[in-house]
Structure 1
Amino acid sequence: MNIALVHDWLPFMGGAERVITNFLEVFEDAPIYTSVYNRDNLEGILKDANIYGSFLQNLKSARRDHRKFLPLMPTAFETFDLNKYDVVLSSSSSCAKGVVTNPNTCHICYCHSPMRYGWEFYYEYIENLGKFKKSIIKYIMNYMRIWDNASSNRVDYFIANSKNVANRIWKHYRRESVVIHPPVRSKFFKACEKKQDYFLIVSRLQEYKRVDLAIEVFNDLNIPLVIIGDGPLKEKLVNKVKRDNIKFLGRQPDDVVKKYYGEARGFLFPGEEDFGITSLEAQCSGTPVIAYGKGGALETIIDEKTGLFFEDHTVNSLKSAIDKFCKIEFNPNEIRAHAESFDEDIFKHKISNFVYDKVDEFKNNKKWVVL
């Protein structure tokens, strides 16, 4: 079986990049097609993978900030020639699913989310933009929504990373999907019973992650908060800090993140996520999670056993959850046992079975009738 992998972009490591890593472990030697990549920031087998960038790879500014080139992403993926492959397995939360394949190629899309900034989260993304930028973006997004919906028809089979995303795939594309939850590296993380006093956030610093809400709350609390991660909002978030109990560590290597996960008193997950792999990494470390009670968190956290939910994106709601959290005694081993059900070996087994089953189905489907 001649298979190609397609991924939105590879400028850094994150949850989606762990998925493409597992794909490559299942389908060894498969090439990866992506809009832009930075090999220096990649880890594990991705570092030496056979990666093909689009024409955007030739632009230094695109490699620095791919988000500015969103209007060119559809063209970037449509220019890849994938005709020689029997199977295309795309990993998409943006435009990767829009590659063009021939009628004999089976295209399976692992969908992390329909384009967040194009659909129901559009207003969150533009909320803090000026009037001029908003006026331009609304026309760009109109085009992107039309293309996003139309390109969903190029996919033969959809996999959703959660029930939450499966509902959104149906809403925006009117396509059915099978849910296979993303992988967590449970063997890498270890449960730690000797906890420190700090709470932890590990996140890209973007609008929808709602790190700003956590900072606002911890500005009023005499409890340490450690924030690991980088992103376009870093400077703005740093300027919101009013107390020295809040520390930004930037991006950190895996071993450092592992240590902070294990020793944290609790992990904060304040945004509405499609799934949310960091909350599972925390649970694999025996650390309970305080999460916003919507989206993928509802599929990964057991209320009052592996964490707590707060109901509203308000200071009072999150403060109340933290207060309740501090009165509960969580069991690190029980928390880890729950997270192990999302292990990457389970994920790879499910992906392999799904791909081979659907390729057989695709080949055997009668697509024409002779009269």
Structure 2
Amino acid sequence: MRIAIVHEWLTTYAGSERVLEQLMILYPEADLFSVVDYLPEDRRGFILNKKVTTSFIQKLPFAKRIFRNYLPLMPLAVEQFDLSQYDLVVSSSHAVAKGIITGPSQLHISYVHSPIRYAWDLQHQYLNETGLNRGVKGWITRGILHNIRKWDYRTANGVDAFLANSAFIGRRIWKVYRREAQVIYPPVDVESFTYKEVKEDFYLTASRMVPYKKIDLIVEAFKQMPDKKLVVIGDGPDYDKIKALAGPNVSLLGYQSFEVLKDHMQRAQAFVFAAEEDFGITPVEAQACGTPVIAFGKGGALETIIGLESEQPTGVFFKEQTLESLVDAVNRFNRERTRISTRACRENAMRFSNERFRREIKEYINQRVVEFTSITM
């Protein structure tokens, strides 16, 4: 069976690339396609150092630095990939990868990290955060996103089977495409996060500092709790703004190595997570260390963290992204801390291992191939 794997863009190693890495382990003979490929030579191991077929966007001016600005051209770009020689096409999509063209004798399975967030339900948030909610540029952007929505909906018909990375994204797929999606949680390298039972007297948050991660909310909340220490790991566009908000009980460490991050995750009283994520890998990594999570109770966190209503909780939820709600959650965590077992946290995290992902997705694809073959033969 000839297999093609289509990925959005190859510029770094993040959440969607972890899915790609496991797909490449399962199907090392597959050919790989991507809108652009700017991975440095020393970071290509997770794609088995394969040669990647890229689109015309790869050669456009300044694309390496501003390839996202070419979003209006990306639908056209992925449609130019000639996949006619492949029996099975697997797309890993959070923007345009699912829009590739396949024929009636080809099986196309799309693992969707999310429909294009900034074109659908998060459009207004995106426009506000980028300053594109007014003026001529704003109207041009709205027009572009309108056309992308039409294209995105139309191309859903070319997908034979949808996979979602969480039930939350499954609901978004249904809302946008009116298609059912099987949930297979993404892989988390839980084995690399060593369990530690004894915790120290500080809280931890770690993230790229961009608006939707709400690191500013966490820092301001702890500023109101001067008796509690917070360590913040990560950098990004909002770093200076967040640094200005920090009180003396908040330590900003900036970008740190994996070993430093893991060490802090192992020792923290709790990991604080205030974003609304489609899945959310870092809360799972924290639990793998035996560390409970204080999280905003929306999105994928509701599927990866077990709340206080359970007999074996692994964390505490807060209902609103407000200072009052987060401060209340930290205080509830302190009152209920003895109910949360570090072992329960570890066991919960193991549900999301790499091995589990490979097993589930291979079983699913094999089943769909058998069903599809019986129809097309």
Instruction: State the TM-score, normalizing by the size of structure 2.
Output: 0.90
Mapping 1:165-180, distance limit 5 Å: 165-180=169-184
TM-superposed deviation, 1:56? 2.2
TM-superposed deviation, 1:316? 0.5
CA distance in 2, matches of 1:366, 1:54: 30
Q: Find the counterpart in structure 1 of residue 51 from structure 2.
A: 50
Conservation of the 8 A alpha-carbon contact between 1:124 and 1:207: no
Mapping 1:212-231, distance limit 5 Å: 212-222=216-226, 223-231=228-236
Conservation of the 8 A alpha-carbon contact between 1:218 and 1:246: no
The yes-or-no answer on 1:349 pairing with 2:359 is yes
Q: One-letter code of the match for 1:71?
A: P
Structure 1 unaligned segments of length 5 or more: list them.
none
TM-superposed deviation, 1:148? 1.0
CA distance in 1, matches of 2:316, 2:155: 38
TM-superposed deviation, 1:152? 1.0
The yes-or-no answer on 1:106 pairing with 2:111 is no
Three-state SS of the structure 1 residue aligned to 2:77 is: helix
TM-superposed deviation, 1:315? 0.7
Mark the CA change 1:325 to 1:234 in structure 2 (over 3 Å): closer, same or farther.
Answer: same
The yes-or-no answer on 1:135 pairing with 2:139 is yes
**Superimposed CA distance per residue, residues 205-263 of structure 1 (whole angstroms, 9 cap, x where no aligned partner):** 3332222321322333334433334444445444544557230422x443333222212
The yes-or-no answer on 1:283 pairing with 2:284 is no
Mapping 1:42-191, distance limit 5 Å: 42=43, 44-46=45-47, 48-59=49-60, 61-128=62-129, 129-130=131-132, 131-132=134-135, 133-191=137-195
Three-state SS of the structure 1 residue aligned to 2:357 is: helix
Mark the CA change 1:152 to 1:331 in structure 2 (over 3 Å): closer, same or farther.
Answer: same
**Superimposed CA distance per residue, residues 243-297 of structure 1 (whole angstroms, 9 cap, x where no aligned partner):** 57230422x4433332222122211221111111111111111111111111111
Conservation of the 8 A alpha-carbon contact between 2:266 and 2:291: yes
Q: One-letter code of the match for 2:347?
A: A
Mark the CA change 1:74 to 1:204 in structure 2 (over 3 Å): closer, same or farther.
Answer: farther
CA distance in 2, matches of 1:284, 1:111: 25
The yes-or-no answer on 1:211 pairing with 2:215 is yes
TM-superposed deviation, 1:35? 1.6
Q: Pick which of 293-302 and 50-59 moved more.
A: 50-59
Q: One-letter code of the match for 2:369?
A: V
Three-state SS of the structure 2 residue aligned to 1:267 is: strand
**Superimposed CA distance per residue, residues 43-99 of structure 1 (whole angstroms, 9 cap, x where no aligned partner):** 642362332222222347332343322212212211211111111111111111011
CA distance in 2, matches of 1:277, 1:53: 28
**Superimposed CA distance per residue, residues 149-173 of structure 1 (whole angstroms, 9 cap, x where no aligned partner):** 1111111100111111111111100
Conservation of the 8 A alpha-carbon contact between 2:3 and 2:29: no
Conservation of the 8 A alpha-carbon contact between 2:119 and 2:149: yes
CA distance in 2, matches of 1:68, 1:227: 30
Structure 2 unaligned segments of length 5 or more: list them.
none
Q: One-letter code of the match for 1:349?
A: R
Aligned pairs, number: 366
**Superimposed CA distance per residue, residues 288-320 of structure 1 (whole angstroms, 9 cap, x where no aligned partner):** 111111111111111131111000111110111
Instruction: State the TM-score, normalizing by the size of structure 1.
Output: 0.91
Conservation of the 8 A alpha-carbon contact between 1:30 and 1:50: no
Aligned sequence identity (%):
40
Three-state SS of the structure 1 residue aligned to 2:300 is: helix
Conservation of the 8 A alpha-carbon contact between 1:125 and 1:208: no
The yes-or-no answer on 1:308 pairing with 2:316 is yes
Q: Pick which of 219-228 and 262-271 moved more.
A: 219-228
